[in-house]
């Protein structure tokens, strides 16, 4: 599972790193085409503006792809991977404790230590537990 997740995260990290470079390559190709089409004898100087804009837009696209698409996807995948690992670790600890015959109250206290302080307060608050049971009935 870890290798599969790391492979997917690695793909988006690589795309995040390489997209601006591909944008710059597109800019260079556009500039070469612009200069190739520029002929001062035939009044080609008027075509420089639109051609330059087209050449520079590829840099913009590379940056947008990197910072608005690939980087957030990689970060979200990394967060979800960490959450899944935590859930699996909690399950394994719980199963091992049940097999060892631990007291359920002790087991609850032990497993609650894995979650954040905010979640821990929700799980251990007796009023919240009672209201949840009433809502289920």
Domain-located, residue 18: yes
88/104 Cα distance (integer angstroms): 19
pTM metric for this prediction: 0.70
* pLDDT of amino acid 36: 78
Domain, as residue range, for 49: 2-79
* pLDDT of amino acid 128: 62
Domain-located, residue 63: yes
Domain-located, residue 19: yes
* pLDDT of amino acid 129: 63
* pLDDT of amino acid 85: 92
Domain-located, residue 36: yes
* pLDDT of amino acid 42: 64
**pLDDT averaged per 10 residues, the chain (length 137):** 88 94 91 77 69 87 94 95 92 93 87 84 71 68
Domain-located, residue 107: no
* pLDDT of amino acid 34: 82
Residue 112 structure tokens? 């609650």
* pLDDT of amino acid 45: 66
Domain-located, residue 71: yes
Q: How many domains does the chain have?
A: 1
Domain-located, residue 42: yes
* pLDDT of amino acid 92: 94
101/38 Cα distance (integer angstroms): 83
Domain-located, residue 86: no
For residues 34-46, one letter each, b for 16 or more C-beta atoms within 10 angstroms of the residue's C-beta and e for the rest, the string is beeeeeeeeeeee
33/28 Cα distance (integer angstroms): 9
Secondary element (H or E) of residue 45:
none
């Amino acid at each position: 599972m870890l290798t599969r997740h790391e492979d997917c995260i690695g793909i988006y990290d690589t795309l995040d790193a390489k997209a601006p470079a591909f944008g710059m390559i597109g800019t260079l190709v556009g500039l070469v085409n612009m200069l190739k089409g520029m002929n001062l004898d035939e009044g080609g100087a008027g075509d420089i503006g639109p051609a330059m804009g087209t050449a520079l837009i590829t840099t913009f696209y590379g940056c947008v792809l990197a910072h608005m698409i690939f980087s957030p996807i990689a970060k979200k995948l990394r967060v979800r991977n960490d959450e899944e690992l935590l859930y699996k670790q909690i399950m394994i600890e719980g199963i091992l404790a049940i097999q060892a015959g631990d007291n359920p109250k002790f087991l609850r206290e032990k497993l609650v230590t894995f979650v954040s302080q905010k979640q821990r307060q929700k799980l251990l608050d007796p009023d919240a537990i009672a209201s949840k049971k009433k809502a289920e009935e």
